[in-house]
Amino acid sequence: MKIKQVFENNRQWLNKKLELDSNYFKKLSQGQSPKLLYIGCADSRVSCEEIMGLSPGEVFVHRNIANLVPSNDLSSMSVIQYAVEHLKVKHLIVCGHYECGGVKAALEPQHFGLLNPWLRNIRDVYRTHQEELDLIQNQNERHCRLVELNVREQCINVLKETVVQEAIRQRTLNIHGWVFDVHTGKLIDLKIDFKALLKNITNIYRLDG
* Domain definitions of the chain by residue range: 1-31, 32-201
144 labelled catalytic: no
41 labelled catalytic: yes
Which of 71, 46, 67 minimizes the C-alpha distance to 183? Answer: 46
Per-residue pLDDT tens listing for the chain (209 residues): 899 999 999 999 999 999 999 999 999 999 899 999 999 999 999 999 999 999 889 999 999 999 999 999 999 999 999 999 999 999 999 999 999 999 999 888 888 888 999 999 999 999 999 999 999 999 999 999 999 999 999 999 999 999 999 999 898 899 999 999 999 999 999 999 988 887 777 767 766 65
Fold of 32-201: Beta-carbonic Anhydrase; Chain A (3.40.1050)
Instruction: Give the pTM.
Output: 0.92
Please report which helix (H) or strand (E) contains residue 54, including its range.
none
Task: Give the integer Cα–Cα distance in Å for 35 and 91.
Answer: 6
155 labelled catalytic: no
User: Could you say which of 48, 62, 95, 100 is catalytic?
Assistant: 100
Query: What angle, rounded to 10 degrees, do the helices at 139-159 and 115-128 form?
Result: 100
User: Could you say which of 11, 45, 120, 127 is catalytic?
Assistant: 45
Which of 194, 161, 159 minimizes the C-alpha distance to 77? Answer: 161
